[in-house]
């Protein structure tokens, strides 16, 4: 196969990343924006490690599940992989992908229907805007697929109207106040990213400007015009990240306006959320997911519960009234401070938060033969690790509820726990990121000898 070659391709299925990986002549052609059972005319446009990237030039056979994308940027922007399909079909597809994953891992696990949104749009409460340059012109927006190119987006369907308006205002102010954009290659300039965090229940907004240096000349006028034009902005912080890294936030932070955090409400509890703390992206779906995780744990009121990888303490705090005691463990210091504040403000007295690596904490707890009845685990996409899972199994909690935004690492970890005498019972998927290929999954595990 060679560059610019034209091919007709039949698509059988989509992988969990939303792409079709089609084997042809001993190679793989990778396609975006296609559906199972479609036939497409393709040009090979790029060679990458995994195979050839194909550009779809025409549909030869169209799936009845195909819809016209409501987003004018979907051909360029890499944000949403599933805008070209009917939403009901998207949920079916996500369920089938999970069933295929479970089967491929040899697991016997009942996968329930994916819990979707009634209106799958305007759900993102966190946005990160990146910058680039086209000649002398500054570009603002999000990265496109397979490149470092920035797509300038005025109205993202996943953002609410307020976020889109704040983003547009920031773009105008960057030009008006001639804020220098950071140049990754030369390592010159100032502004690297802008992070926006919305509290959908409180209508509060935190804007975080990530700069390469601590000094931002003209920040006072910039910020004062921003808050005057966008009254929903209740706090502005400046984060400094001078490292050569793709990680967005650096360690240092300075408050430029307001309190440096926002408040939002989840399942009736108020939470403090700082720029650096993890907070679930989709408010309404998070409430449903937490409710299910807590229901599955079926606490009676006398249990010692761990909330591992607890972020700002949301799962543990939500479950606290049903348990004797909850201990939340989290490695991010800022998140732990938020979690402690959240417990205090809401007068929840039976929770305690520890800032420590989850595996180190679990190993210590197992070595000291501490007692735990029930454990929530909600690790990052990479999942947990062998040390954590071994120590957890040694402590023999009766129930484990594993929440994950990456079912592949979740199933890998579940298999480890099964070796140690746990059985996985049911998998409840939640569509936390509609129109993208991501799906969140909640799995209940119990000890076979309970
Ligand atoms: C998917 S988030 C879940 C947070 C929380 N349960 C929630 O629902 O908002 C994963 C969390 O794990 C934390 N984390 C990552 N690595 C960790 C580690 N080694 N030990 C403890 N926490 C860790 C992250 O900082 C993040 O807050």
Tell whether residue 73 is among the known ligand binding residues. no
| Mean pLDDT value across the chain | 95
User: Is residue 415 within 8 Å of residue 105, measured between CB atoms?
Assistant: yes
Tell whether residue 410 is among the known ligand binding residues. no
CA–CA distance, 346 with 247 (Å, rounded to integer): 32
CA–CA distance, 85 with 77 (Å, rounded to integer): 16
Looking at residue 425, its pLDDT comes to 85
Looking at residue 79, its pLDDT comes to 85
- The boundaries of every CATH 2.40.50.1070 domain in the chain are 126-266
What is the tens place of the pLDDT at every residue in 132-171? 777 777 778 887 766 667 888 888 999 999 999 999 999 9
Tell whether residue 152 is among the known ligand binding residues. no
Contacts of residue 132, Cβ cutoff 8 Å, sequence gap at least 6:
138, 139, 148, 149, 150, 181
Query: Which of helix, strand or coil describes residue 197?
Result: strand
User: Is residue 240 within 8 Å of residue 213, measured between CB atoms?
Assistant: yes
pLDDT tens per residue across all 450 residues of the chain? 999 999 999 999 999 999 999 999 999 999 999 999 999 999 999 999 999 999 999 999 999 999 999 999 887 888 899 999 999 999 999 999 999 999 999 999 999 999 999 999 999 999 998 887 777 777 788 877 666 678 888 889 999 999 999 999 999 999 999 999 998 888 889 999 999 999 999 999 999 999 999 999 999 999 999 999 999 999 999 999 999 988 999 999 999 999 999 999 999 999 999 999 999 999 999 999 999 999 999 999 999 999 999 999 999 999 999 999 999 999 999 999 999 999 999 999 999 999 999 999 999 999 999 999 999 999 999 999 999 999 999 999 999 999 999 999 999 999 999 999 999 989 999 999 999 999 999 999 999 876
Q: Distance, CA 409 to ligand 1 centroid (Å)?
A: 15
In this structure, are strands 351-355 and 325-330 parallel, antiparallel, or unpaired? parallel
Looking at residue 146, its pLDDT comes to 60
CA–CA distance, 292 with 190 (Å, rounded to integer): 44
What is the tens place of the pLDDT at every residue in 5-21? 999 999 999 999 999 99
CATH number for region 1-66? 2.40.50.140
DSSP 58-93: EEEE--TTB---S-TTTTTBSS-S-TTB-HHHHHHH
Which atom from ligand 1 is nearest to the alpha carbon of 307? 6
- The boundaries of every CATH 2.40.50.140 domain in the chain are 1-66
User: Is residue 413 within 8 Å of residue 384, measured between CB atoms?
Assistant: yes
| Residue among 330, 337, 440 whose CB has most ligand 1 atoms within 8 A, to mutate | 330
Looking at residue 152, its pLDDT comes to 85
Active site residues: 405
One of 2.40.50.1070, 2.60.40.10, 2.30.30.240, 1.10.260.30 is the CATH number of 126-266, namely 2.40.50.1070
Looking at residue 154, its pLDDT comes to 84
Give pTM, 2 decimals. 0.94
- Our answer on whether the CB atom of 315 is closer than 6 Å to any ligand 1 atom is yes
CA–CA distance, 280 with 264 (Å, rounded to integer): 11
- Our answer on whether the CB atom of 330 is closer than 6 Å to any ligand 1 atom is yes
Looking at residue 145, its pLDDT comes to 63
Nearest CA to ligand 1 atom 25: 332
CA–CA distance, 277 with 279 (Å, rounded to integer): 6
User: Is residue 4 within 8 Å of residue 43, measured between CB atoms?
Assistant: yes
Q: Distance, CA 67 to ligand 1 centroid (Å)?
A: 36
**Residue in 271, 306, 298 with CA at minimum distance from that of residue 287:** 271
Looking at residue 147, its pLDDT comes to 65
Which atom from ligand 1 is nearest to the alpha carbon of 404? 1
Q: Distance, CA 300 to ligand 1 centroid (Å)?
A: 26
The first and second tokens of residue 196, run together, are 């926006």
Nearest CA to ligand 1 atom 12: 309
CATH number for region 96-118+282-447? 3.40.50.150
Q: Distance, CA 338 to ligand 1 centroid (Å)?
A: 13
DSSP 308-370: ES-TTTHHHHHHGGGSSEEEEEES-HHHHHHHHHHHHHTT--SEEEEES-HHHHHHHHHHTT-
Looking at residue 156, its pLDDT comes to 92
- Our answer on whether the CB atom of 442 is closer than 6 Å to any ligand 1 atom is no
Q: Distance, CA 278 to ligand 1 centroid (Å)?
A: 7
Looking at residue 450, its pLDDT comes to 65
Looking at residue 63, its pLDDT comes to 98
**Residue in 394, 432, 437, 398 with CA at minimum distance from that of residue 416:** 394
DSSP 414-450: HHHHHHTTEEEEEEEEE-SSTTSS--EEEEEEEETT-
DSSP 103-118: HHTT---EEPPPB--S
Neighbours of 252 (CB within 10 A): 12
- The boundaries of every CATH 3.40.50.150 domain in the chain are 96-118+282-447
Q: If you ran DSSP here, which 8-state letter would residue 399 be given?
A: E
What is the tens place of the pLDDT at every residue in 361-396? 999 999 999 999 999 999 999 999 999 999 999 999
Phi, psi of 401, deg, nearest 5: -115, 120
CA–CA distance, 155 with 92 (Å, rounded to integer): 28
What is the tens place of the pLDDT at every residue in 424-443? 989 999 999 999 999 999 99
CA–CA distance, 192 with 244 (Å, rounded to integer): 11
81 phi-psi bin (left φ>0, alpha ψ -120 to 50, beta other): alpha
Looking at residue 113, its pLDDT comes to 98
């Amino acid at each position: 196969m060679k560059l610019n070659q034209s091919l007709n391709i039949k698509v059988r299925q989509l992988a969990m990343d939303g792409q079709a990986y089609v084997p042809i002549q001993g190679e793989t052609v990778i396609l975006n924006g296609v559906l199972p059972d479609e036939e497409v005319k393709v040009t090979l446009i790029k060679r990458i490690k995994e195979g050839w990237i194909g550009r779809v030039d025409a549909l030869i056979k169209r799936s009845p599940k195909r819809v016209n994308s409501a987003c004018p940027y979907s051909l360029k922007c890499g944000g949403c992989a599933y805008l070209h399909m009917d939403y009901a079909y998207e949920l079916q597809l996500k369920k089938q992908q999970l069933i295929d994953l479970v089967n491929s891992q040899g697991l016997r696990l009942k996968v329930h229907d994916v819990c979707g949104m009634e209106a799958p749009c305007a759900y993102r409460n966190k946005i990160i805007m990146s910058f680039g340059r086209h000649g002398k012109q500054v570009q603002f927006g999000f990265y496109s697929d397979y490149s470092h190119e920035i797509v300038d987006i005025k109205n993202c369907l996943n953002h609410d109207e307020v976020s889109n308006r704040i983003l547009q205002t920031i773009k105008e102010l960057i030009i008006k106040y001639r804020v220098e954009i950071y140049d990754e290659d030369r390592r010159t300039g100032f502004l690297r990213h802008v992070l926006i965090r919305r509290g959908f229940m409180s209508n509060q907004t935190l804007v975080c400007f990530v700069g390469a240096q601590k000094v931002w000349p003209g920040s006072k006028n910039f910020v004062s015009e921003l808050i005057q034009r966008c009254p929903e902005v209740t706090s502005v912080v400046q984060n400094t990240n001078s490292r050569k890294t793709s990680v967005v936030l650096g360690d240092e932070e300075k408050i430029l306006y307001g309190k440096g955090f926002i408040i939002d409400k989840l399942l009736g509890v108020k939470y403090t959320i700082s720029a650096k703390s993890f907070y679930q992206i989709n408010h309404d779906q998070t409430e449903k997911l937490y409710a299910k995780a807590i229901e599955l744990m079926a606490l009676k009121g006398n249990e010692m519960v761990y909330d591992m990888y607890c972020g700002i303490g949301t799962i543990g705090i939500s479950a606290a009234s049903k348990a004797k005691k909850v201990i939340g463990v989290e490695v991010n210091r800022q998140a732990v401070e938020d979690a402690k504040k959240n417990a205090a403000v809401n007068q929840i007295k039976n929770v305690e938060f520890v800032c420590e690596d989850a595996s180190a904490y679990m190993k210590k707890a197992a070595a000291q033969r501490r007692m735990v009845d029930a454990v929530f685990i909600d690790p990052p996409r990479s999942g947990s690790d062998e040390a954590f899972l071994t120590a957890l199994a040694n402590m023999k909690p009766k129930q484990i509820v594993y929440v994950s935004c990456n079912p592949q690492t979740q199933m890998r970890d579940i298999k480890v726990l099964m070796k140690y005498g746990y059985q996985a019972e049911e998998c409840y998927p939640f569509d936390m990121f509609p129109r993208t290929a991501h799906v969140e999954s909640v799995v209940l595990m119990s000890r076979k000898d309970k």
